Structure 1
């Protein structure tokens, strides 16, 4: 995937009434675009640096999985809260706080002495991103008129797409350049001056609040976070630890926390409060199935990046820059398909999204077949055609999917629905890393791996792990085809 975690229409999560201020200066737009850029850039740059981090910190797959999944989990569960905090306390203020928090947490990532310190810093970085990112959308919405808003959101889409590509290519170059002997640490350290300067420059930006801001359901957010962490921890650690008793206990505790979360949310809604998630939206079968589709589709993206980086760097011996450059054409395919997707949906109808998912599945299947035959560094370019098809299929399916799913709720619930889908994107990414990790680690370190060439071992682990991705996308295509026939809410 190239254009990762842009939450689904987060400007609608808590949009304030239309305002007609004077057109902001170009510097304001540049600062807001920078805020969106660094949150996406840091997701992708870490993927290409994972093998270097793993080697330097002597960490296992579970720790590296948490470095990625922890960021996405914190981002996802706090995203709605971040939007509501901005509505209540001022979007400019929360943007500055998010930028400063992102800069400081990036510094902590850059100086982390071990894997556990890095995981903790990444959790804080994800929380800062959740505070920062919703303000970008909300401020673009309220600071511009209709024409200016359209242009600003178009530029934001281009910026996020470029951030994904830059994260892979420039990130690989930064790691490989080993600036000041810092190695992978520089990918985080460069955020410190950028983030602090942007946080100080926001004074030129007008403040914006919503008079109808919703309350923040901190107990609900706490239960959801605990439940998801208790689920991800055993899934990531279990394969290496041999599935000891505590892994089963953790999964059981996760189920209890998530059950308590749902009961709490119903209770908050019943007494007229503002739940983190309005569970009544899931009474719509179209929305429920669509939310599951989003979870499935997005569970395949981050997990593939992680396994691909390990395959081509740890397995085939490519440098970080070579690995990022090899993957970049997938990003180009995604961008091209994203531009074509709306036209495809207009011509074929919503069933065209299911076709896009099948193209995505074909790209994954081709990649699995190609990877299974890799024997060394000289074979790496054989992955290129399947990567392009993979990125193209992602763009055809992901880009129109979010609007499809939100269309199954009434307009007055669109903001909450967008928040839920945004969270499902991030949680899906974290969940995918944990599930795919089980297969990857089991095959890589299995009994049959003894005596097999390193490149072939990583190729087998990648191909085996990606069977989950193939199955998830095929199931998503079936669900999309089923719900695409349902009428949307007007």
Structure 2
């Protein structure tokens, strides 16, 4: 389990300004905010168990399914900082309501999408509205409560997001398998419409707040980054399916030019004393720069593993969506357990323990690769549980304390911007990982034609080949973490 949104709440900046002081806050206000956090994470995870059903219904190939997942993460990640700033400027409750309604409407568009292309567009818009909604949850909890109340509220939020990740896999699998009203996978999106409308209606009990000195949104920078990353992901996802025609290389060149333009623009805005989407001066710190690469690498392995695993156990071994979600759920138990003890282990043994966590994560992936190759049939899939639990434990031990390590390299006054950059790297890393792993997965699957050998064997080979990237990325990340842990951080 990789709960990047759970990690994000610990990192996003917010202003301490309060509209209503520390007066009593309605329990309903807290419940509505927790619901907002729940649905954004639930929809990130529920898609995993619905992937094979979507493929069968829409006739989608791997690239299209990859974009259904990567599009959500990309839009969410790129617009996350902008969403937080919009709330600071125009009012966090107002943007929460707008984000909730937008998420409900775009979820409805996902649910009625007639083609894979329309689902991809709807998922991108859903991620964008999630980026408006999610930062307000953190910011409002930050300004609504005093220190004691804040600890309790964030504890509840962390628990809620953890439950959302598990529910997305188990409950989501049950919903898809139940085929409610004959809607199949579509119901996982359609249920957000009534939930979002009701939540937006009751959100008026939330006190409004703004930041008097809020930074403006760097829209040119956001647009350059979004366009550049889209043009990067498109050929990486489509290229393996269509033989890398000339336009894919043109797209890659255009992506490099746009992303170079983005960096030049951000530098210019910073030098003029403006408010860039990303302050490039932070990357002058070698520890922070290496840490950002580690975040990208670690998070690139999470979503991609979910995608390949869902295809393996459902399309390859014929497990139902509920069985697939239940099979992966124990990894969440390992993640939560490691997340609880991880910070204490760091205090006792130092930051190097994070590298140990990454190596445990790598060991879990390697165990999965080996064990998957030995599966005899669908009933044997449950023998993967020990490897999945180890994998989840390693994820929690490496991911949870990683953000504090990376952000710790910048001065406190830059912590908000650094946290925003790291949070963006989490989501962009997830999208990038899906694209890169897809290259290996599709190539290996194509090398084992359907009908020439058992379907399970084809997907075992594709899964094992694709996971070699994940294994390599985590091992490299572990080495970088060891290097980072030995560098002095600001006091």
Decide: shared fold, TM above 0.5: yes
Alpha-carbon offset, residue 375 of structure 1: 3.9
8 Å contact kept, 2:7–2:403? no
Corresponding residue of 1:215: 216
SS in 2 for 1:6: helix
1:360-371 → structure 2 map (5 Å cutoff): 360-371=361-372
- Over residues 431-474 of structure 1, what are the superposed CA-to-partner deviations in whole Å (9 max), with x where a residue is unaligned? 00000000001001115776121001101100110010000000
Alpha-carbon offset, residue 378 of structure 1: 2.1
CA distance in 1, matches of 2:283, 2:26: 42
SS in 2 for 1:328: helix
Corresponding residue of 2:292: 291
CA distance in 1, matches of 2:299, 2:448: 31
Alpha-carbon offset, residue 3 of structure 1: 2.1
SS in 2 for 1:5: helix
Alpha-carbon offset, residue 18 of structure 1: 5.9
CA distance in 1, matches of 2:166, 2:2: 7
CA distance in 2, matches of 1:193, 1:86: 24
Change in 2 beyond 3 A, CA 1:208/1:154: same
- Over residues 7-30 of structure 1, what are the superposed CA-to-partner deviations in whole Å (9 max), with x where a residue is unaligned? 534664242336733121111111
8 Å contact kept, 1:28–1:202? yes
- Over residues 463-486 of structure 1, what are the superposed CA-to-partner deviations in whole Å (9 max), with x where a residue is unaligned? 110010000000000000000011
8 Å contact kept, 1:16–1:209? no
1:76-115 → structure 2 map (5 Å cutoff): 76-115=77-116
8 Å contact kept, 2:301–2:470? yes
1:340-489 → structure 2 map (5 Å cutoff): 340-446=341-447, 451-489=452-490
State yes or no: 1:122 paired with 2:130. Answer: no
Corresponding residue of 2:27: 26
SS in 1 for 2:6: coil
CA distance in 1, matches of 2:390, 2:119: 34
CA distance in 1, matches of 2:386, 2:54: 28
SS in 2 for 1:273: coil
- Over residues 277-300 of structure 1, what are the superposed CA-to-partner deviations in whole Å (9 max), with x where a residue is unaligned? 000000000000000000000000
CA distance in 2, matches of 1:473, 1:487: 23
Corresponding residue of 1:65: 66
Stretch of structure 1 that moved more, 328-337 or 21-30 = 21-30
SS in 1 for 2:214: coil
TM-score, with structure 2 as normaliser:
0.98
8 Å contact kept, 1:107–1:191? yes
Corresponding residue of 2:5: 5
CA distance in 1, matches of 2:5, 2:467: 21
CA distance in 2, matches of 1:18, 1:420: 25
Stretch of structure 1 that moved more, 7-16 or 109-118 = 7-16
Change in 2 beyond 3 A, CA 1:447/1:305: closer
8 Å contact kept, 1:373–1:459? no
Alpha-carbon offset, residue 151 of structure 1: 0.6
8 Å contact kept, 1:10–1:422? no
Corresponding residue of 1:16: 16
State yes or no: 1:141 paired with 2:142. Answer: yes
CA distance in 2, matches of 1:189, 1:339: 34
- Over residues 93-117 of structure 1, what are the superposed CA-to-partner deviations in whole Å (9 max), with x where a residue is unaligned? 0000000000000000000001001
- Over residues 158-214 of structure 1, what are the superposed CA-to-partner deviations in whole Å (9 max), with x where a residue is unaligned? 001000000000000000000000000000000000011111111111100000100
8 Å contact kept, 1:374–1:456? no
State yes or no: 1:278 paired with 2:276. Answer: no
CA distance in 1, matches of 2:15, 2:283: 22
- Count of residues in correspondence between the two structures: 490
Alpha-carbon offset, residue 382 of structure 1: 1.8
Change in 2 beyond 3 A, CA 1:450/1:239: farther
8 Å contact kept, 1:9–1:418? no
State yes or no: 1:183 paired with 2:189. Answer: no
Gaps of 5+ in 2: none
State yes or no: 1:39 paired with 2:40. Answer: yes
TM-score, with structure 1 as normaliser:
0.98
CA distance in 2, matches of 1:243, 1:450: 26
Alpha-carbon offset, residue 272 of structure 1: 1.1
SS in 2 for 1:294: helix
Gaps of 5+ in 1: none
Q: Cα RMSD between the aligned structures?
A: 1.2
Alpha-carbon offset, residue 4 of structure 1: 3.1
CA distance in 1, matches of 2:484, 2:396: 20
- Over residues 211-259 of structure 1, what are the superposed CA-to-partner deviations in whole Å (9 max), with x where a residue is unaligned? 0100100000000001100000000000000111111110010000000
CA distance in 2, matches of 1:254, 1:328: 37
CA distance in 1, matches of 2:282, 2:358: 25
Corresponding residue of 1:157: 158
8 Å contact kept, 1:10–1:415? no
